[in-house]
């Protein structure tokens, strides 16, 4: 199922990276197109952001490493696929 989260982080530097934890009710992230690359199925609402990495923790909580190209203080919507169903 496709889902999303919104995060608000004040990026203050060029090329700043932040790790965003995905809530348990939306983890784990899955490889929808089954090509072995989790990052290509994840999108941000703005071209200013890039997904660098995905970490799947043992407790099934996923983390995304997000790169901000230029500093901004706006909400970021991250869209991805999960095995969880909406309640």
Q: What end-to-end distance do the CA atoms of the chain give, in Å?
A: 12
pLDDT in tens, 24-74: 999 899 999 999 999 999 999 999 999 999 999 887 789 999 999 998 888
Q: Which two tokens stand for residue 24?
A: 């348990």
Per-domain residue ranges of the chain? 2-81
How many Å apart are CA 25 and CA 62, to the nearest integer? 10
Asked if 84 and 27 count as a contact pair (C-beta separation under 8 A), the reply is yes
Non-local (6+) Cβ contacts of 44 within 8 A are 50, 51, 66, 76, 77, 78, 79
pLDDT at position 5 is: 95
CB atoms within 10 A of CB 40: 12
């Amino acid at each position: 199922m496709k889902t999303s989260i919104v995060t608000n982080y004040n990026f203050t530097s060029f090329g700043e990276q932040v790790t965003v934890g995905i809530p348990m009710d939306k983890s784990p992230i899955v490889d929808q197109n089954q090509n072995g690359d989790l990052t290509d199925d994840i999108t941000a609402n703005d071209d200013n952001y890039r997904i660098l990495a995905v970490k799947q923790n043992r407790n099934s909580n996923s983390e995304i490493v997000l790169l901000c190209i230029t500093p901004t203080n706006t909400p970021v919507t991250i869209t991805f696929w999960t095995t969880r169903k909406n309640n």
